[in-house]
Structure 1
Amino acid sequence: MTMIDIMLPYYGDVALMQAAVQSVRSQTEAGWRLTVVDDTANPGVPEWFESLADDRIRYFRNERNLGITGNFTRCLDLAEHELMSMLGADDLLLPNYVGTVLAAHREHPGVGMIQPGVDVIDEHGRPVKALADEVKKRLYAPKVTDRRVMGGEELAASLLRGNWLYFPSIAWRTEAIKSVGFRADLRTTQDLALELELIERGEQMLIESTVCFQYRRHLESVSSKMALDGDRFTEERELFLSTADRMKAKGWHRAERAARNHSSSRLHALTLLPTAVRGGQGDVVRALAKHAFGTN
């Protein structure tokens, strides 16, 4: 039987992490194993996992803090089954997640990535329609009513126009994601860099319309904090421009144009400019303007 390793790199709120763990335990279909890699020193956490007495769950606490990329890499090293996912410690699986991705895998066993349907919730677990998610859904994500396989330049160009994926919800063919790994020089664009590398290597993505994942969006996320100091967009700009050069070398000219334009990323920076101006954050204003307008 095909198994999925659900990897949970943990750093942050204890209660949200515990809710994520319980959402895994509530799956209606077997075929999963949960591995938690704890990059915190929060008291009581090892004891809580011990109290679960659930042999489907492995718990590891890092001897020293590895940081986001280091903890992601350790999770990757610990994955052993044919499929894996990298669950966010504040996200939730709906009870049908494992059944949905395993059924999709059985129908398309060769794909490297499975993107299932996602609902977005706020920090209190309530459904929310954030602007970023509505733009993803309405402008950039392909319209899929059942299942659709995408790959090659079509998928690369689509993601470079606007990254409509939800990284923590994706089920990966473990062999494929391990062949690429996570770049140590990136912080907030790890997901897009990984996805593009896999596409360039010939991997395909199955888009599954069944909703089985809840992605939590709140202002305390690392990416939100980085956006406000401009670091996120400096990293994004460098990734897009280097990707454009690779797309050009492959003869993927639509993808090259999408990378050089990176329109959705520019628009995001533009929406943050008024806040930075009002706050008198000169360095942030300059970083956002450079990204939004391609100028100093």
Structure 2
Amino acid sequence: MRLSWSLLALLGILFVGPVLTNPVAVRDKRGLDSYGPPPEHHDDHHQPEGVWKKKLVWKDEWVKVWKPSKKLIWKPDWKKIQVPVWKEIQVPIWKEHKVPEWKQIQKPIWKEVQVPAWKEIQVPAWKKVWKPVWKEIQVPAWKEVQVPDWKKSYVPEWVKVGVPGPHHLGKDDHGYEVVAHDIWKKKLIWKPVWKKIWRTEKKQYWVTDKKLEWKEEWKQIWKPAKKQIWITKKEQAWKTEEIQVWKTVKKQEWVTDKKLIWKDEWKQIWVPVWKETQVEEWKKVSKPVWENVWVPIEHHHHHEEPSHGWD
């Protein structure tokens, strides 16, 4: 234990050597809980004996450190964009013009000519024809008649039937078993019944009807025939003439027009970027400090005190 405290004291001297160069300053930094000589009292009592000793204590201090951090900043940049612009161009168009021109046309004229024609005339002829006549005939027909018929159906009916053998009916008032023989019970049966009904049937009979027949006859008729004759007719002929006309022609011309095109331009934009910066921060550290404390001396009867970290 004494060896470990010695090593700790040696490390404290190496780390806080500059602090101990001024023992007065160390004494001034003592807190309320540090040790010191007893206060002076102006009385006749004897002051206790003691010695000054050094004690290693750890004090908290705040030190400034720099911590890396990222900060969002806006950086200017250039972006290529397309903007519409109007550009004047020359485009061809076709314009109609009227120019004179001589044209040959065919003019109709009328001319009298003799042309053959066919005239329709009537000549007698015999024609075989068929004349319709009505003839009475007998044809079969069907009519509906009502005929009697018998239909079988079933109706429910209760009948009395015997049940053979002994049947235990329980006990009487004296405790004797009551047994019945050949008892009767009701039974539901379906009884066939024949019922007269009328059924519709078709019956064939003969009726008088008229039938259309065709009778052959010969009849005198007038048959059309064609006879050739000559008639005067006006025939259309074509005469060639030249007339002046105006012809429409198309002539190419150039006119100014506007065309929408896209032009490249550079536009300044702001883009977010992360920038590494150093920000200050306070960090709490514990620092070893040697303090001078007043340790009173107590007189004991030759026994060693355990070590409490005093040097």
Higher strand share: 2
Q: Decide which structure has the larger Cα Rg and report it.
A: 2
Higher helix share: 1
TM over 0.5: no
